[in-house]
Amino acid sequence: MTTKGRNSTDARAAIRVPPRLATWLLLSLGSGPFAEALAGDLSEEYQRGHSRHWYWRQVTVALFLARTRFLRLTAWSVADRLVAAFALIALGLGTLTWANVVKSDVDLLRQHVSPSARAHESPVQVRP
């Protein structure tokens, strides 16, 4: 293999591809022409060494802001506002209910594992 071929292979290997699903979501659900420009900017920053977590966080914030802008600019009737309010309340109550169910399940599991059983557990030993 020649030096020229090796350098081109190394250059292609060094290109970091941002998360495809996040990019697709941004382009599909983003704010029109701004989505493409933002996707390009985020891709450049990702190439400079930002993490996948950083990229996803940027896309999530951009989509959230695009959706809230859409909701602010949309004319809402009284009925639409009531439906949205009830949906948000139901979502909040559902989240709280789910959190309470999980907490009660964890409490039940803790009750079934008695302190005496925990005291007799042997520590994990690492074998060479």
DSSP string, 37-56: HHHHHHHHHHHTT--HHHHH
Q: Is 104 exposed, middle or buried (0-12, 13-18, 19+ CB in 10 A)?
A: exposed
Top mean-pLDDT range of 27-31, 85-89, 94-98, 115-119: 27-31
More confident residue, 120 or 40: 40
CB atoms within 10 A of CB 22: 21
Q: What is the pLDDT of residue 1?
A: 46
Structure tokens at 37: 């420009």
Which tens digits make up the pLDDT trace of 36-93?
A: 999 999 999 999 999 999 999 999 888 888 877 766 777 777 777 778 777 777 766 6
